[in-house]
């Protein structure tokens, strides 16, 4: 299969619903006929009807077939220079050396082409301290320290997984020398034997670190770091000591204490602060971590109006990370952030919080904070952001018979499972309209069949609350979130999309020209001043604002607009913007007093990012009015 066909499978699998051929052809920028040919090729490739088709509805993934197949793309002969460079780096990481004559036969290219690719690889290796290609006659080797090789390895791993780091089966397919799902089983058994819990959201990242460590150890590549005696006395050290002892019975790797210490510190999380102090040194200057965090949170509050300053859990988490960040800078060690693409794609506001925190930290220490570190900061801030939103909980009325024991069990289980998003305001045995109107709940949960004329979402559940009931409650809360977000979006955002700044069927050749074109019109009408465009470009230089589903969201670093407005452009043909191909561009110009609009806008954006059907419809809009209509479609 080709790359487009792989992307089609991912789109359909993400959607779990029908997508028409026309919608797919627009998203892929190919003809309907090409899409039909791709579907035939995919099904022939797997020998089963992985893609279902319907004249009326289009195409969708067959979930049962998908689950039965070990979906992993058959290795292709690399065609483009970038594909060849990635392939060669991967081979160099696995092997001591590569025979260039064998490589020519393997990928069907000339020696001249290989020489050009090697120039590109040397350029690609520049950010990795100490890594370089060494050539000796017809052989090439990768020289450098182990930490830099691991950074390079994980960067390539991240590209291959395409941001989907929560799919453990997909991640497991990348490790050819061992079964990562077996590693997961051993780790879970050891953790269970110590009654040690790891948060579900942290486990994929932990497992990826473990997997990469084992992969490198199999090829006799080890990290070198100082061993902390206190860490050796910790429970986390004992857990990974037992884990490696168990693992070496089935996988031929050498157990060393440095690897155990590294993973133990990773497992400790925020408790690793017990082994540190508030004052840290960087390049001869001393900093108090608590003061660095104060300024980071103040900066977020000043710029976004979001107050995290009293959140002690956030302070503890940031404290641990900032200490590690400064230590990495002191030793010039780089780490990967496997959640970076996912955070940028699904939580763009959270990533902006990370950008702001990173800038505040950079200003204090006089050293640039890279995008990977910003992504880690965003993970901490994202958790705090979700917690801050939970204070505005939905009001829930529960209706069930008078069986006291069963009703208390039912209410307690609901409250335990969903306390962060809702609160039970009353429990009654029957529906009385006047009483319900007086309580004004957002949601009614009932164990009895119930019909009424009130505009209140109602869900029937069983008294014992099984997994299906929990799923129904979860879907209902998500529906309430969607309704609230849509109402806020209609009230606050739509009027900011001005007719004079809506550009359908635009043809521009670069992101820089696009930003200049959009800014020039707004500057002429005094919505922004001359510095705004420079600020937008500065933001782009920090991290591209393009997203994988074909749109870009350029904006200034600060709330620098004179008047708030939104400019929208739909391109005739896709434009390369960062690492993605873009057809929709939304430029935000928000003034300081309207900062609350950002939260509403980004919440709406998060709901659209993974909806390929809605994105396809937005791209078809020929006028501002049509664009707004499609925004409001369910």
> Nearest Cα to 156, choosing from 168, 148, 145, 167?
148
On whether both 383 and 356 belong to a single domain, the answer is: yes
On whether both 381 and 460 belong to a single domain, the answer is: no
Question: What is the spatial distance between Cα 120 and Cα 540, in angstroms, rounded to a whole number?
Answer: 24
Q: Which of 36-50, 185-199, 229-243, 382-396 has the lowest mean pLDDT?
A: 382-396
Q: How many domains does the chain have?
A: 6
- pLDDT tens digit string along 70-94? 765 334 456 567 767 877 887 787 6
> Nearest Cα to 204, choosing from 176, 244, 163, 235?
163
Asked whether residue 563 carries a pLDDT value surpassing 50, the answer given is: yes
Q: Dihedral, CA atoms, 285, 291, 294, 295, nearest 10 degrees?
A: -30
On whether both 497 and 622 belong to a single domain, the answer is: yes
- pLDDT tens digit string along 603-618? 777 666 667 777 888 8
Asked whether residue 239 carries a pLDDT value surpassing 90, the answer given is: yes
- pLDDT reported for residue 178: 80
Q: Which of 89-98, 346-355, 385-394, 543-552 has the lowest mean pLDDT?
A: 385-394
Backbone angles phi, psi at 297, to 5 degrees: -70, -35
Question: What is the spatial distance between Cα 128 and Cα 122, in angstroms, rounded to a whole number?
Answer: 10
Higher pLDDT, 33 or 202: 33
On whether both 169 and 239 belong to a single domain, the answer is: yes
- pLDDT reported for residue 502: 93
The tokens describing 478, both together, are 């998500």
**For strand 58-61 and strand 51-54, is the pairing parallel, antiparallel, or unpaired?**
antiparallel
Per-residue DSSP letter, 547: E
- pLDDT reported for residue 338: 46
Per-residue DSSP letter, 227: P
Asked whether residue 427 carries a pLDDT value surpassing 60, the answer given is: yes
Residue 251 lies in a domain: yes
Full-model pTM: 0.41
On whether both 268 and 282 belong to a single domain, the answer is: no
> Nearest Cα to 269, choosing from 307, 235, 303, 243?
235
| Mean pLDDT along residues 37-60 | 91
On whether both 472 and 501 belong to a single domain, the answer is: no
Q: Is 61 helix (H, G, I), strand (E, B) or coil?
A: strand
Which CATH number characterizes residue 447's domain? 3.40.50
- pLDDT reported for residue 550: 81
Per-residue DSSP letter, 466: -
- pLDDT reported for residue 75: 40
Residue 481 lies in a domain: no
**Angle between the N-to-C axes of helices 146-161 and 81-94, in degrees from 0 to 180, rounded to the nearest 10:** 130
Which CATH number characterizes residue 500's domain? 3.40.930.10
- pLDDT reported for residue 634: 63
Which CATH number characterizes residue 98's domain? 1.10.10.10
On whether both 114 and 171 belong to a single domain, the answer is: no
- pLDDT reported for residue 334: 65
- pLDDT tens digit string along 335-377? 554 446 656 655 666 787 888 899 999 999 999 898 888 887 8
- pLDDT reported for residue 277: 66
pLDDT band at 440 (very low <50, low <70, confident <90, very high): confident
- pLDDT reported for residue 444: 94
Torsion sign across C-alpha atoms 340, 346, 350, 351: positive
The percent of residues in the chain predicted with pLDDT above 90, rounded, is: 21
Per-residue DSSP letter, 555: B
Higher pLDDT, 290 or 404: 290
Residue range(s) defining the domain that contains residue 195: 161-273
């Amino acid at each position: 299969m080709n790359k487009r066909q792989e992307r089609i499978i991912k789109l359909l699998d993400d959607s779990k619903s029908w997508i028409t051929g026309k919608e797919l052809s627009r998203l892929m920028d190919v003809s309907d006929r090409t899409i039909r040919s791709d579907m035939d090729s995919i099904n022939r490739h797997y020998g089963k009807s992985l893609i279902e088709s319907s004249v009326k509805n289009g195409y969708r993934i067959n979930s049962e077939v998908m689950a039965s197949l070990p979906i992993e793309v058959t290795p292709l002969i690399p065609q483009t220079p970038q594909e060849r460079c990635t392939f060669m780096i991967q081979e160099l990481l696995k092997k001591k050396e590569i025979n260039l004559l064998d490589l020519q036969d393997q990928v069907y290219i000339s020696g001249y082409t290989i020489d050009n690719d090697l120039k590109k690889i040397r350029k690609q290796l520049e950010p990795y301290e100490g890594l370089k290609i060494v050539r000796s006659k017809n052989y090439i080797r990768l020289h450098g320290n182990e930490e830099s090789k691991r950074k390079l390895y994980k960067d390539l791993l991240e590209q291959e997984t395409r941001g989907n780091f929560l799919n453990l089966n997909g991640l497991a397919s990348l490790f050819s020398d061992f079964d990562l799902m077996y590693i997961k089983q051993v780790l879970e058994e050891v953790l269970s034997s110590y009654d040690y819990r790891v948060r579900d959201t942290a486990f994929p990242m932990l497992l990826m670190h473990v997997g990469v460590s084992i992969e490198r150890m199999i090829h006799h590549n080890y990290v070198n770091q100082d061993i902390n005696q206190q860490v050796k006395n910790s429970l986390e050290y004992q857990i990974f000591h037992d884990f490696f002892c168990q693992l070496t019975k089935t996988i031929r790797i050498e157990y060393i204490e440095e690897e155990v210490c590294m993973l133990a510190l990773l497992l400790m999380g925020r408790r690793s602060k017990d082994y540190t102090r508030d004052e840290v040194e960087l390049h001869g200057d001393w900093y108090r971590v608590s003061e660095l965090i104060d300024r980071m949170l103040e900066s977020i509050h000043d710029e976004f109006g979001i107050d995290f300053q009293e959140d002690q859990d956030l302070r503890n988490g940031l404290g641990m990370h900032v200490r590690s960040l400064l230590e990495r800078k002191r030793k010039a060690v780089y780490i990967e952030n496997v959640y970076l693409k996912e955070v940028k794609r699904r939580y763009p506001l959270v990533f902006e919080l990370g950008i702001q925190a990173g800038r505040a930290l950079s200003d204090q220490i006089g050293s640039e904070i890279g995008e990977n570190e910003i992504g880690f900061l965003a993970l901490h801030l994202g958790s705090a952001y979700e917690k801050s939103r939970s204070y505005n909980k939905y009001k829930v009325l529960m209706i069930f018979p008078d069986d006291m024991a069963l009703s208390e069990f039912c209410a307690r289980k609901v409250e335990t499972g969903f306390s962060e998003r809702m609160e039970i305001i009353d429990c009654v045995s029957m529906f009385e309209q006047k009483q319900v109107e007086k309580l004004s709940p957002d949601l009614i949960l009932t164990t009895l069949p119930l019909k009424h004329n009130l505009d209140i979402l109602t869900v029937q559940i069983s008294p014992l609350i099984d997994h299906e009931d929990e799923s129904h409650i979860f879907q209902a809360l998500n529906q309430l979130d969607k309704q609230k977000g849509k109402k806020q979006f209609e009230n606050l955002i739509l009027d900011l999309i001005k007719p004079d700044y809506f550009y359908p069927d635009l043809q521009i050749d670069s992101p820089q020209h696009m930003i200049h074109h959009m800014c020039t019109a707004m500057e002429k009408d005094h919505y922004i001043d001359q510095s705004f465009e420079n600020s937008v470009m500065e933001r782009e230089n920090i991290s591209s604002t393009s997203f994988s589903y074909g749109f870009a969201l350029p904006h200034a670093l600060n709330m620098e607009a004179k008047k708030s407005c939104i400019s929208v452009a739909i391109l005739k043909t896709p434009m390369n913007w960062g690492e993605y191909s873009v057809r929709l561009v939304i430029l935000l110009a928000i003034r300081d007093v309207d900062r609350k609009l950002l939260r509403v806008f980004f919440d709406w954006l998060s709901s659209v990012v993974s909806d390929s059907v809605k994105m396809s419809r937005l791209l078809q809009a020929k006028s501002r009015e049509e664009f707004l209509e499609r925004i409001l479609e369910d």
